[in-house]
Amino acid sequence: MADVPENAPQSCPGTSSSEAGKSSLCQGCPNQSLCASGAAGGPDPAIQEVKDKMKMVKHKILVLSGKGGVGKSTFSSHLAHGLAEDETKQVALLDIDICGPSIPKMMGLEGEQVHQSGSGWSPVYVDDNLAVMSIGFLLNSPDDAVIWRGPKKNGMIKQFLRDVDWGELDYLIIDTPPGTSDEHLSIVQYLRAAQIDGAVIITTPQEVSLQDVRKEINFCHKVKLPIIGVIENMSGFICPKCKNESQIFPPTTGGAEKMCQDFNITLLGKVPLDPQIGKSCDRGKSFLSEVPDSLATTSYRKIIQRIREYCDMHLSQEGKDA
C-alpha cells in the first residue's frame, strides 16, 4: 500500500503513486509540491515551523459555518472584542477568507496595510492587546477580487501562520470562509500538530442553514477537529417598541437546539437579531460596547464566557496529558 504522508487529506493517493501531487485530491494539501517532485520523504517542513510558531499561542479557535451569510465573521469579530476586554489577555484575529475578507471592515481597519519587519509581517492592531491579519490588508482596494486556485490559497494561509509576528498570544481566533474546502483543509493540516482547541460553528435557525452545518459537523469529525459548540444566530427578533418576539427565520425542523441534540454536541447559545449589530460592524465598532444593554449583547457575553471556560478546561486537560 502506498505511503500516506502525515496531515494528508482524505483519500490521499499516496507518495509512491503516479498521481502523487498531481491528482485533484492533492489540491490544497501542504505536501503537494513535495509529492509532485518525487521527494516526499516526509511532510511539508512548514508544518513543523507552524507548530514551533504556535507554541507561543495558548488557545486556537476556528469559527466555521457551512453556509455564507449566517454571521460567522460578525461573531468572530465580537469574540475577539469580547476576549480582548480583559486587558491582561493578548488576542489576535486571523481572517483566512481569502476571496471575501470582511474582517478589516468589521474591525475598523479598512485601508490599513501590513508592514514587514525583521521578525516577519506585523499584524494590524485595533488596541494594544488586539491584533488582526487579513489578505484585505494586502489588496490595493477593498473592491479588488482575489481569483486564486487552491494551492495559492494554501500558500497564503501558510504565510499567515508561519510568517506573521504574532508574539505571545492567549487567543488566536481564525475566521474561515463558508464550506469545507481548501482553506479548511489547509488550516486544520497546518495546526493539527499545534493543538487546536476546537471549532465554533455558526448557523441560523432555518433548515436550509442547518443542512449545510451538518456537513460542517461531519467535516470536523472526519478531520478529528474538536467542536466547542454551535451558535444559533439571528434567533428571533424582539421589537424594540412593543417587545413582542417574531421568528424571522422559523426553525421548521427544531433549529440548532434539535440538531445539537441529534449530534450530541453543545449549543453554546442563541443570539437574537438586532439591527444595531450590522450598523456597528459597518462602522468598525464593537457592538458589545456600543449597545451594552441589548439582549444580543447579553447572549454574546454568555457565549464568550462558555468558550473561555472550554479553553481553560482544554488547557488544563493538556497539562494532565503532558
Binding site feature residues for ATP: 66-73
- Binding site as annotated, residues for [4Fe-4S] cluster: 12, 26, 29, 35, 239, 242
Count how many Cα atoms sit within 13 Å of the Cα of residue 150 in the half-sphere of its side chain. Answer: 21
Task: Give, as one character, the DSSP assignment of residue 9.
Answer: P
Give CA–CA dist 304/211, Å, rounded. Answer: 25
CA–chain centroid gap for 140, Å, is 24
Cα-only R_g, the chain: 20
Residues 130, 88: Cα–Cα separation, whole Å: 11
Name the strand (E) or helix (H) holding 290.
helix 287-290
The span from the first CA to the last CA of the chain, in angstroms, equals 33
Name the binding residues: 12, 26, 29, 35, 66-73, 239, 242
From residue 43, alpha-carbon distances to 3, 5, 32, 48 in Å are 12, 6, 9, 9
Query: Cell numbers of 206, please?
Result: 432555518
| Phi, psi of 85, rounded to the nearest 5 degrees | -65, -25
Tell me the C-alpha distance between 103 and 91, whole Å. 15
CA dihedral 209, 214, 219, 222 (to 10 degrees): 180
C-alpha cell at 204: 441560523
